[in-house]
Amino acid sequence: MAKPSYLSMRTIEDSHLEGWEMIDSGGFGHVYKVKHRQWCSNVAIKLLRFDDSQTLLRELNMMYQGSSPYVIQVLGIFRGQLPSNPSSTQLGLVMELMERGSVAFLQKSLPGPPPWPLVFRMAHQVALGINFLHCLCPPVLHLDLKPSNVLLDPSLNAKLTDFGLSRFYHSSTQLSKKDTETEGGGTLPYMPPEAFDVNYKPKQASDIYSYGILLWSIVTGRKPYEHATSDLVRLLIPEGQRPSLDDIRSQVTGVAGLEVLMAVMEKCWRGNQDQRPSAHVCTTVTEELYKVHKHAMVDVVHQVLKELDQQEEGLVEQVQKVHISEVSVGARREEVNLYDSVPTGPAPVQPTRSSVHSSHNRVQNMFPELRRCSISSLLPCFPSPPSREYYINMSDVTGIQYGNGNTMHINLHERKRHPSAPPSVNFPSTQPGSRLDKKES
């Protein structure tokens, strides 16, 4: 057998690359977005977590064999040092960069499932990728089909990626533990029932089962068995348990072709391998379903891209508007004036002592990016109208946050007992039976 021509592929040195940015990480390793100086374009570089050249070359071989418009393209082999670790030389895969991330990212970004025309196109394009792999000689099995392994280009076209678990059909060797985090290979909710057998030998039907579960996830926008434990999933899948179709059935009458697509799911995830359809059948059926919705595709893609861009711009805008600065706090008890010269709506309700305890969650809801801040105690952020002042007496709190929505100030104050303070303090009574009604001794 002649040596595969992928071994003669170009080697890309680190001197040709700049702007390393990690965009994905998992059990397999890390994926970086990098700019190629000579090509004047961005590429993706995948570095395996395990320093195993055989594993890398095997995946490269699979990707080279599976090159098609619906399988991500490999551009070369990376060999060099990372800016973060210049002491060691690493090998990696250089691939085309899919600007819109994965189907999993799309599911997290959209408030619900993708629009129906996009659902049917993704179903068809994934089937095209699987069918291409299964038509090779020998057939290539992907063995890890799931939303995070379906990438999207700038126009939201789908391509298969991640061939770390792929095998040629004539090879029935078991997967090693370092190839995957789950037993037997693949991702647990997408694995076929036969994969839980100790004598499991992957076939094309194994990919078809995973495709059926993947279809369900694309249509619903959810993860299968998201509330079940791994042990329960491993137990019930071989007994015939599958994701619920109730939500899909409720929409069948209003969506052309959805009933047929649901039937494809059910046939793909049958327990008997021999009763599952081939990838060619799945491709043929989904092509006809996609034709029904194809006329609306341009508008739908524009709509989704606009929504994704608005979310990204909104996040950047919020980060730019929020300014965190340290302000010194002198005495244990002081007054803070909050004011703003920009109209921001009616005056908010003055905070009470009890509201301090729940303020941290409210601030996180208002400004999600502040979750990165390691601040243990925050007071609510109160936008205020012009010419109004609010006074907060800091008697038993250790921090305060105030601002107007455009600028935020956070004061953190560590309470310390003054050396000249008396050994006990009698607080005035505010409410009968309250904590302040009792004497400290």
Q: Which residues are catalytic?
A: 144
What's the distance, Cα to Cα, between the start and end of the chain in Å?
89
- Put residue 184 in one of left, alpha, beta given phi > 0 → left and psi -120 to 50 → alpha: left
Cβ-Cβ contacts under 8 Å for 52 (sequence gap 6 or more): 178
Rama region for 81: left / alpha / beta (φ>0; ψ in -120 to 50; rest): beta
| Residue 194 · residue 200 · CB < 8 Å | yes
User: Are the CB atoms for 147 and 217 separated by under 8 Å?
Assistant: yes
Q: Which helix (H) or strand (E) holds 126?
A: helix 116-135
Element spanning 77, H or E: strand 74-82
Question: 3-state SS of 357-380?
Answer: HHHHHHHHHHCHHHHHCCCCCCCC
Hey, how many other C-beta atoms are within 10 angstroms of the C-beta on 5?
Answer: 8
15 C-beta neighbours (distance < 10 Å), count: 9
d(CA 391, CA 400): 12
Question: CA-CA distance, 336 to 213, in Å (whole number)?
Answer: 57
Record the tokens describing residue 149, joined without a space: 């392994």
Question: Angle, nearest 10°, between helix axes 279-293 and 204-220?
Answer: 20
Which whole-number Å values give the CA distances from 298 to 57, 134, 219, 294, 305, in the listed order? 39, 30, 19, 8, 11
Contacts of residue 35, Cβ cutoff 8 Å, sequence gap at least 6: 17, 18, 19, 41, 42, 43
